[in-house]
Each structure stands twice: as C-alpha cells, then as structure tokens.
Amino acid sequence: MELKKNTEWTLHITGVTQDGNGVGRADDTVVFTPGCVRGDVARIKIVGVRARYAFGKLLQVEQPSPARIPVDCPTFFQCGGCVFRHIQYAEELRIKEERVGDALRRIAKLDIVPEPIVGCEQTLGYRNKAQFPVGWQEGRPVFGFYAPRSHRIVPAENCLLQPPVFQQVLDAFGRWMLENDVSAYDEQTGKGLLRHVFLRQAPATGELMICVVANGGAGSLPNKKQLIQYCRQAAPQTRSIVLNRNTARTNVILGARCETLWGDDHITDILCGLRFSLSPLSFYQVNSRQAERLYHMAAEFADLRSTDVLLDLYCGVGTIGLSMARQVGRLIGVEVVADAVTDAKYNAAQNSITNAVFYCADAGEAAARLQKEGLVPDVVVVDPPRKGLDVAAIDAIARMSPSRLVYISCNPETLVRDLALFAERGYQCTRVRPFDLFPRTAHVETVVLMSRNI
C-alpha cells in the first residue's frame, strides 16, 4: 500500500521523540504519532506526508507497551504542557537521558557518556510558579494554557503539576471577573484588561505571591478591594498581591512595571539552607527541591576551594552563586534583570554573606569588561536561557582562562553547540549529568563540567 494521506497502517513503535511522539515506520518512511509509547503496536491514520517523513493520528493501541500507563489528566492531549503522562516515569527518564547522550554524540561529536539522569522524587504538584492566560468562553472566565502552536486557551482546572492552592486562587479570580464583568485581553485587538494571572509559592515557607498582569494600571481594576478579599479568603497564606502593568502589543507575559496592591512586594523561600527573597520579575527555578540537588551537583563539579574566585553569570536572584559562596574566597554575580540583582544583593545581606558582589549587566558584555579589568576567576558557572550563550560571551569566558567551567543548561541542543565552541577554545568536557526538573514535560536540565586543557 502506498503511503499517502488518510491511509491506515499498523506500526511497531520503536522510539519516542523529545516531544512525546511515537516513532514507527510505514513503507520505509518514518511516521511520528502522538500518544504512542515505545513498544506499542498501534493502528494509525496518516494525516500528513512530507518528503522524508510523515505524521500519524493514533486510532487504536492494538498491543500496548509495558511502559504505557493510563492518562490521568482530561486535557493531556489538548493543553500542550505535558507530553509524557501516558508513559511510565522510568521510561520518561530513559527518553530524556537518551536525548542528552544523542546530542553529545550527534551534534557535538563528543565521545562522552552522560552519568545517569537524576530523577525527581515528586512528579505531582512540584511547580512553584505558573502563568495562566485569561479568556472568556461560553460566558465564563477561563484560565489555562495555550494549545500547542497556538494562542487558543485550553481551560485546565486542577493542573496536576501545580499545588492545589493555585486553583483556589483562580476560582477567586473567576468569581471576581463574573461579578464585575472584567474583560480579558485580546491579542488581536489589543483591547481588554486582564492578560494573565501569575502565581508563585515558596515551598519551604508556604508564602504565596499573586500577580495580576493587566493592560493598565491599578486604577483600571474594578472593585480592587473585592479581588484582594477573595484572594486572601481563598489562600490565607498569601503574602503579596502585585499588579504587573503590561500595555505592550506583544505576547511577552510580564511588563517592566510592578505595583504592590496588598502586603509585601516579595515572598521568601529557603533553598540550600539560605533564605531567598523573590519579586515578580525574578528568575527562580520552578522545582525548588530538585534545583537543590542540581546545585549541589554543580558545586561538586566545580570542586570549590576557599581561595577561589567564582564568577556566576546569569545569576538571577543569586541562588547558585550564594549556595556556593561560603566555599570560595570571592563571588561575583552578573544578571541583566535589575530587580533580580536587587534581590540578589538583599539575599546576600540577609544570609550574612559578605564576600559577594552583584552587577546588573548583559552576561557577555560583563564578562568582556571584567576580563579587560584583569579578573581571573578560578571557576565560572553559567546558567543561560534556552538560546544558550552567544559567541561574545564564550570568547570572554575563554579569555579569562578559568580552570573549571560549570554549564547548567535547559536545552541539550544549544548546550552541545556551545560545548563544541568551548572545545575550539581549549576546554574539554569531562562530566555530564542530566537532571529532570520538569517531570511529564519535554524539558530536561543538564549540568556539565569543562576543564581547561593544560
């Protein structure tokens, strides 16, 4: 039978992609089919054909894989947040570990085997932060997540990745919107008030921050006191209610201006034995307990000594560097977000860490400037965004000639690209360990040690 659209095939699923699509072959053509598990025998329908591959739709699992499990979320196939809810967690870890190893071999051409992936002890309710787009559907306010490759909101009540209190707060927002006829922002017209509800909870202290992302200032919120009352009743652990003003015609979630509506302008969490102050715009790992394990591994890789100068690029609120500060002689942190730098300085002070300084600057520009000023760090730690490092930052780091470089990555593909560039500048990758900070999703973190060739 010829492989063409709308034909049906029975496939043996031999693998799963990083996005959770099963991989099989029909007429010697690779077919990607969502909802399949390695080891399945599945009846599928071809829904798209390209020159070298095709896409399928799962019709029936004729013989389930031993790694298949029942789906426990009613919106799993719609919201796009999770991709592995139909797969045993051990198999998910295997897929993520293979992704890192394959990227090292195939892209970076490195002959190094990753150490076993560090799985997460908690696969439910582990997120300390969530950002919910807001809309109206069938006469009711809805909060959820965007469907894959779209900005269509899929309502997602009681998301299994979030703590239950998040849903309680969303219910309070829904009640307030209904009673006050609050409009939701429309990206097409730029009209409407409420854009997102951004929630952050500190797992160690229980403190909750509620951030209202609005297309206007605090004066634009109807019956603001009622909203505050409803939120506090729904979540007595609320410590901070903040308005973030975002009037830009953009899909960027947060604007640059925040105004405290009630309580404090921050919440406090405890990580690696240290207290950290978190404001709305500060980056903070969404899985706090697993982040602790990752940071301990990063410190082990760094092999820190009491005389070391440690440079922490993309330092955020200072979590990584401050967790290592008492093991080194001097810590220098660099972060481009001004609010995060303010938090980092405060965090150093409240933890009585006196050997740390923080600068607000682009990582690459700061590294180049520090290098020109003669800074010679013994260890550099980088934790860049998904796009990885730019060449200017890599050049500046290499010119400083640190003996050890620890790279924490949330994207294996950009990581291995950067490892190849560091190799050209005299740095050898000696240890690699994946970490699962985001169970049931496609994401995987990796911590890498590079050493300067002597």
**Measured on CA atoms in the order 253, 285, 400, 391, is the torsion positive or negative?**
negative
Look up tokens 């190893």; give the residue.
Answer: 101
| Per-range mean pLDDT, top range of 127-136, 142-151, 246-255, 277-286 | 127-136
Domains 8-68 and 129-271 belong to one CATH topology: yes
Backbone angles phi, psi at 450, to 5 degrees: -120, 140
93 with 117: CB under 8 angstroms?
A: yes
Catalytic residues: 410
Pick the CATH number of 8-68 from 2.40.110.10, 2.40.50.140, 3.30.70.270, 3.40.50.970: 2.40.50.140
For 300, residues 6+ apart whose C-beta sits below 8 A from its C-beta are: none
Question: What's the pLDDT score for residue 454?
Answer: 64
CB contact at 8 A, 177 and 142: no
Question: Tokens for 289?
Answer: 């307990």
Q: What is the C-alpha separation between 13 and 83, in angstroms, rounded?
A: 16
Residue 84, both tokens: 């592995």
Q: Is the pLDDT of residue 166 over 80?
A: yes
Q: What is the CATH number of domain 97-121+287-452?
A: 3.40.50.150
Residue 79's pLDDT band, with cuts at 50, 70 and 90, is: confident
Mean pLDDT of 281-289: 91
The structure tokens listed for 391 are 């060449």
Q: Please provide the size of the chain in residues.
A: 454
Q: What are the start-end ranges of the H helices in 280-361?
A: 288-302, 319-324, 338-350
pLDDT-based confidence at residue 410 (cuts at 50, 70, 90): very high
Can you give the pLDDT at residue 388? 95
| Three-class secondary structure of residue 332 per DSSP | strand
Instruction: Provide the edge-to-edge strand list for the sheet that holds 379-382.
Output: 356-360, 330-335, 309-313, 379-382, 404-409, 445-452, 427-435
Instruction: Residue 335: name the closest of 356, 359, 310 by CA.
Output: 359
Residue range 129-271 in CATH 2.40.50.1070: yes
Closest CA to 16 of 129, 72, 99: 99
282 Cα distance to chain centroid: 13
Domain ranges of the chain: 8-68, 97-121+287-452, 129-271
pLDDT tens for each residue of 23-54: 999 988 999 999 999 999 999 999 999 989 99
- Check if the beta carbon of residue 318 is closer than 8 Å to that of residue 358: yes
Question: What is the Cα–Cα distance from 396 to 311, expressed in whole angstroms?
Answer: 12
Q: What is the pLDDT of residues 368-384, one digit of tens each?
A: 888 888 888 999 999 99
Contact predicate 439/429, CB 8 Å: no
**Which of the four pLDDT bands, split at 50, 70 and 90, describes residue 315?**
very high
3-state secondary structure of 59: strand
